[in-house]
Amino acid sequence: MTSAIFAFAIFAGSAARVLPALLAVPIQQDLGWQTSDVAWPITLGVAVSACASPFAAHGLERWGVRSPLVASLVLLALSLASTTRATSPWHLAVAWGLGVGFSGSLSASLLGAIVGSRGDASHCGTRSGLLASMQLLGSAAGLLVASRAVSALDWCFVFQAAAVGVLATAFAVALVPASGRGATPQKPKPNRYASPCPTGKNWRFWALATVFCICGASTSGLIDGRLGMLCMGAGLSLSSSADVMAIVVIGGAIGSTVSGYLADRYPAQTLLAVYFVLRALLLLWLPFTGFSVVELARFGALYGLDAALTFPALIRLMSGNLGMCRVGRAMGWMTVAHLAGATIASAGVGALGLAAYAVGFACVGLACLVAAGLVVLLRDAPAQDAPSG
């Protein structure tokens, strides 16, 4: 029951956090501002989320999941509600850049790593995958519902309704009984695959950080940030481009669940190597398509599925190399590496422009092959030998 409430909180929070990016243009047009006035608060929010992730992980380990999650949802609700009172771009900088940003530091990946690695380790991947899929489903639901609500009503009503919904979710999470301990998973029994609590950042930590950096470059940086622009630049309409993005999200939700199941039954090292090789092949293949709706939709389904497959297996690989008792704190730093990769890829592809998009895809595809090689060098912890919590 507790995990179900946490999963719903991830769903509701993700649905609400897409509103600034979705409704930035209507707000800018309604208030008569410049495009940059609503764009840079969103960018600030992304940067704040990444920088605050290690501190969010520390809070989860110290106070457990419930209290930080309630605080995150309350802050998100206040930020959404204050958006309707904005009279200056600086108000959005506070509401979106700081409020939504700090709230987003408690991401589904961080919560999935913490909650998913608690209890029976043989189901760690399944729990992590299900929680990660809630973020994708929440984002899709927020996009679909909010876009239709704005057409019938106005953006102020959408933000106010979202604030009420998030606040109600925070109240539901507050009713969850306290566990009496922090969010750190139980210390597993010693085994030949992992040291339960490493003391320093050895080469395995930096190898995992590099893998996360490449993962962020190939997902958030290359696809999430640029695929819509690529579709419209190739001549697709706004609705067709949105359909392609929706297919990516749906494929990702399916991939998160399937990957969690596989990560509990097969070695994470082998799974990740296959995932990254397939991702590289997809990235190298896309520039040779005709960029039609059908081909882009096919790519979106396959890529969304593959992009979401990596998370549960990465959690298991982290526990095998860094130790179960520090997987949450390590995930905070891995989130920073993920965003760094996304920023580098997005900036690089933006500098190249649409005419040289194939070069950016090829470079990131080759980097995915490097990630596949790195995971092979890391220590594996097969699911069938994983210790019980």
* Residues 43 and 153 both lie in one domain: yes
Residue 267 identity: P
Q: 153 vs 78, 79, 159, 165, CA distance in Å?
A: 21, 20, 11, 17
Q: Do 168 and 209 share a domain, yes or no? A: no
Same domain, 43 and 157: yes
Q: What is the Cα–Cα distance from 98 to 255, expressed in whole angstroms?
A: 31
**Which residues does the chain have with pLDDT short of 50?**
120-122, 180-200, 382-389
Owning domain of residue 32: 2-174
Query: Is residue 191 situated within a structural domain?
Result: no
Tally the domains of the chain.
2
Query: Which of 114, 150, 21, 181 has its CA nearest to residue 334?
Result: 114
**Residue 190: inside a domain:** no
Question: Is residue 334 assigned to a domain?
Answer: yes
pLDDT in tens, 272-308: 899 999 999 988 887 777 777 777 778 878 887 777 6
| Amino acid identity, position 90 | W
In a domain, 180, yes or no: no
Question: Residue 124: which CATH number?
Answer: 1.20.1250.20
* Token pair 């040779």 in the structure block, residue: 288
Q: What is the pLDDT of residue 44?
A: 82
Which residue shows structure tokens 């994983």?
Answer: 386
Residue pair 70/170 in contact by the 8 Å Cβ criterion: yes
Q: Measuring CA to CA, which residue among 129, 108, 127 is closest to residue 185? A: 127
Is residue 160 situated within a structural domain? yes
DSSP three-state, residue 122: helix
Domain membership of residue 230 (yes or no) is yes
Q: Are residues 18 and 142 in the same domain?
A: yes
Domain-located, residue 181: no
Residues 6+ apart with CB under 8 A from 110: 53, 56, 57, 60, 328, 331, 332, 335
pLDDT at 162: 94
Domain shared by 42 and 87, yes or no: yes
Contact 167, 9 (CB under 8 A): no
Examine the domain organization and report whether 136 and 215 are in the same domain: no
Same domain membership, residue 143 and residue 260: no
Q: Alpha-carbon distance 313 to 26, whole Å?
A: 39
Quick: pLDDT tens for 35-69.
778 878 887 887 788 788 888 878 887 888 888 89
- Non-local CB neighbours of 147 within 8 Å, separated by 6+ positions: 22
Same domain, 57 and 121: yes
Same domain as 365, residue 289: yes
CA distance 251 to 292: 19
Residues 38 and 24: beta-carbon distance below 8 Å: yes
Compute how many other C-beta atoms are within 10 angstroms of the C-beta atom of residue 377: 10
Please check whether residues 211 and 151 belong to one and the same domain. no
**Side-chain-facing half-sphere of 173: CA atoms under 13 Å:** 26
Residue 330 in any domain: the answer is yes
Give yes or no: residues 110 and 225 share one domain: no
Same domain, 241 and 138: no
**Alpha carbon distance, N-terminus to C-terminus of the chain:** 19
Amino acid occupying residue 185? P
